[in-house]
């Protein structure tokens, strides 16, 4: 229940949290600190509206490397994390080696990122891009109770 409440409102006071989970304030704080110490709660953030921040578009990019040798994968991964528009990057099974979510201002912005950065990353052989037309669901809350 603590995880549900914290995910729903990361700014909840300990007094309100304790009331919602039916514990004393000291017990609530102890359990919360235990979850933080165990790494279950990694931090607290404010969720910024992507569109209002000037990045209304999402591009999903499938990247295939020329080689899947460990050193080549590591070089690519070290480089991709340096691009601030890259919000997520996953190692994939299947045709592409990576699936990357890039946020952009518009098509011209993506063209710049594609030509100057993505295709210049170490070991990149192929880049396949798809613009998201709209977001149907995007959650930050895990289904824990």
Q: What is the pLDDT of residues 53-66, one digit of tens each?
A: 999 999 999 999 99
Q: What is the β-pairing status of strands 86-91 and 124-131?
A: unpaired
- Quote the CA–CA distance of 83 and 60 in Å, as a whole number: 15
Asked if residue 145 has pLDDT above 80, the reply is: no
> Where are the domains positioned within the chain?
2-37, 57-131
User: What is the CB neighbour count within 10 angstroms for residue 110?
Assistant: 21
Give the residue among 9, 50, 55 at the shortest CA–CA distance from 32: 9
Task: Render pLDDT for 27-49 as a digit per residue (tens, 0 to 9).
Answer: 999 999 999 999 999 999 999 99
Q: CA torsion, points 80, 82, 83, 88, in degrees to nearest 10? A: 60
Q: At what angle do helices 25-37 and 14-21 cross, to 10 degrees?
A: 100
The b-or-e profile of 60-81 (16+ CB within 10 A means b, else e) is ebbbbbeeeeeeebebbeebbe
Average pLDDT, the chain: 97
Q: Which residues pair with 100 in a beta bridge?
A: 61, 89
Domain 2-37 has CATH 1.10.10.10: yes
Task: Kindly report the CATH number that applies to the domain delimited by 57-131.
Answer: 3.30.70.920
Map tokens 């340096």 to a residue. 82
Q: Which token pair is 117? A: 């950065």
Q: Given this model, what pLDDT does residue 119 score?
A: 97
Task: Render pLDDT for 75-110 as a digit per residue (tens, 0 to 9).
Answer: 999 999 999 999 999 999 999 999 999 999 999 999
């Amino acid at each position: 229940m603590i995880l549900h409440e914290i995910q729903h409102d990361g700014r909840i006071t300990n007094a309100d949290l304790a009331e919602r989970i039916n514990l004393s304030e000291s017990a609530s704080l102890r359990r919360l600190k235990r979850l933080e110490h165990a790494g279950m709660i990694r931090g607290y953030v404010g969720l910024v509206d992507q569109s209002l921040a000037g990045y209304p578009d999402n591009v999903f990019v499938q990247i295939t490397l020329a080689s899947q040798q460990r050193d080549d994968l590591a070089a690519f991964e070290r480089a991709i994390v340096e691009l601030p528009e890259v919000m997520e990057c996953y190692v994939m099974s299947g045709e592409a080696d990576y699936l990357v979510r890039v946020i952009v201002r518009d098509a011209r912005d993506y063209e710049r990122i594609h030509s100057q950065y993505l295709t210049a990353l170490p070991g990149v052989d192929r880049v396949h891009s798809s613009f998201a037309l709209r977001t149907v669901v995007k959650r930050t809350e895990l289904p824990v109770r």
